[in-house]
Structure 1
Amino acid sequence: MAHDNNSSVHPAGQRSLGLRRGSVSLARQTLAGFRVLLVLTVLLGVIYPVAVFAVGQVGLRWQANGSLLLADGSHADTRSTGAGTDNAVVGSALIGQQFTGDEWFHPRPSAAGDGYDTLASAGSNLGPLNLDLVATIEERRAEVSAADGTVAGDVPPDALTASASGLDPHISPAYAAQQAERVATARGLDQAAVTALVAEHTAGRDLGVLGEPRVNVLELNLALEKMSS
């Protein structure tokens, strides 16, 4: 009778060998996971933020630090904000402010708190068929047309509606131009000069195609104050 010389592994030994191999595989996967975690932490948690901060501070310092404006209309250097002087920081070019009085260009309406409240940024959230919104728009139309001496039907839409954030720093060139006569009269300035100032502060579409032409109200009013002084 022939004998089989091939040795066989006991089932218990096979299970033990499988467990050892599984443990080694799990350890390798865990180690690989920790390596990936370490690399991504250094790359995305250290290198990337530092690189973005460096680029902002070197090439885009004014924009990276809030686009702050001084009273004379110039860009504020955060290392010297003019605090305690007549030329201190008066606001940001990115955040609208409320201006009242005939001598100022007015921003669009705001539903943020009592108006341009940075702690309550929001729109009215009223639908186009909401009767409260319709009544508010008609009330604004009457006020704007009376203040600017404009036919009610010619009042630009942005003079009647609040932005989604309630902090929009811009108005349309049409709304700015409509206010030029009122502002010039209140300040005793030549209307043509005020109109030219509006044109000077009118920005076109980004990259020529994105957005709409716009006028920054804070920058325009600071330039207006400088012209009047």
Structure 2
Amino acid sequence: MNTVSSWLRQCVVGLSILLAMTLILGAGYPALVWAVSRVGSTSAEGSQVTDAGGCAVGSSLIGVDPRVQAGQPDKYLHARVLGSVDDPMAPGDPSASAASNQGPGSDKLAGWIDARRLIIATREGVTPAQVPPDAVTGSGSGLDPDISQAYAELQVPRIARENQISQERVRALIKAHTDGRQLGFLGQPGVNVLQVNVGLGLTAPNCD
């Protein structure tokens, strides 16, 4: 009888511990992690950027270069070179997340840069010498969401003209979406291209 009672007592203790750990680790802990990940941050949901209608147009962490349809005005801010592609100005595939793998002495890379500089200078109505370095080069990941303040400023006249707004308004929008140096001293300030373009009226296609 004592043996049976001891066995039943151990079963009850074991089942109680199993139930308690199931509730703590199977429900409580996941719920806590879920809640903490959403306090003061949208990164758990991909740092989504939404348009005026509430539709997701992309992520603030991933570069998006607007595709301009033939015959349509080029009225948005352009990003850096995205992805690893042979076409010097192709937007690339963000899912590829790769650099060109061309070294600083590469003739192929030099040709891309010269072609990009000429295309951008023509688009913005400036001389090739006025095109900043980040406009013609990609980041290590190929997905940089930011551009330099110099490249953003270069595009202000075209954006203002095509949107029929003042350059001061465009500059104010760019300033509102410019991040400072990391930790206050690392790197350079960057302008988030997608957020500026949403401010200019960019919307998500086919969003219900």
The question of a shared fold, defined as TM-score above 0.5 by the shorter chain, is answered with yes
- Match of residue 78, structure 2, among 106, 125, 129: 106
Structure 1 residue 208 displacement after superposition: 0.7
**How many Å apart are 1:202 and its aligned residue?**
1.3
The offset of 1:116, in angstroms, is 4.2
**Residue 186 of structure 1, aligned match among 162, 176, 180:** 162
Question: Is contact 1:112–1:123 with CA below 8 Å preserved after alignment?
Answer: yes
Residues 98 and 116 of structure 1 are in contact (CA less than 8 Å); yes or no, is this contact kept in structure 2?
no
Deviation at 1:220, TM superposition (A): 0.3
1:64 aligned onto 2:44:
yes
Residue 97 of structure 1, CA deviation: 1.2
Q: Distance in 2 between matches of 1:91 and 1:216?
A: 12
- What is the alpha-carbon distance in structure 1 between the residues aligned to residue 29 and residue 104 of structure 2? 44
Would you say 1:90 and 2:71 are equivalent positions? no
Q: TM-score, normalised by structure 2?
A: 0.73
User: Does structure 1 retain, via aligned residues, the 8 Å contact 2:82–2:94?
Assistant: no
Task: Note the alpha carbon deviations across 1:82-138, whole angstroms, 9 max, x for none.
Answer: xxxx43111111111121342111001123466342331100010011000000000
In 2: Cα distance, 1:87 partner to 1:66 partner: 15
1:131, 1:112 → 2: CA distance? 16
1:146 maps to 122
Q: Quote the Cα distance in structure 2 between the aligned partners of 1:193 and 1:184.
A: 8
Distance 1:67 1:111 in 2: 20
Give distance in 2, aligned partners of 1:168 and 1:180: 20
Amino acid at match of 2:78: H
State whether structure 2 residue 187 is matched by structure 1 residue 211. Answer: yes
Give the aligned length: 169
Structure 1: tracts of 5 or more residues without a match: 1-44, 73-85
Inter-CA distance 174–214: structure 2 relative to 1 (3 Å threshold): same
Aligned to 2:153: 177
Q: Percent identity?
A: 41
Runs of 4 or more, structure 1, over 6 Å off, are 45-50
> Which protein has the larger Cα radius of gyration, Structure 1 or Structure 2?
1
Question: Within 5 A, what are the aligned runs for 1:13-162?
Answer: 52-57=33-38, 59-72=39-52, 86-101=53-68, 102-112=74-84, 115-162=91-138
Higher helix share: 1
8 Å contact kept, 1:103–1:182: yes
Checking the alignment, whether the CA contact within 8 Å between 1:116 and 1:167 is kept in structure 2 is no
Looking at structure 1, the residues matched to 51 and 150 of structure 2 have their Cα atoms a distance apart, in angstroms, of 26
Moved more, 129-138 or 63-72: 63-72
Q: Distance in 1 between matches of 2:29 and 2:133?
A: 42
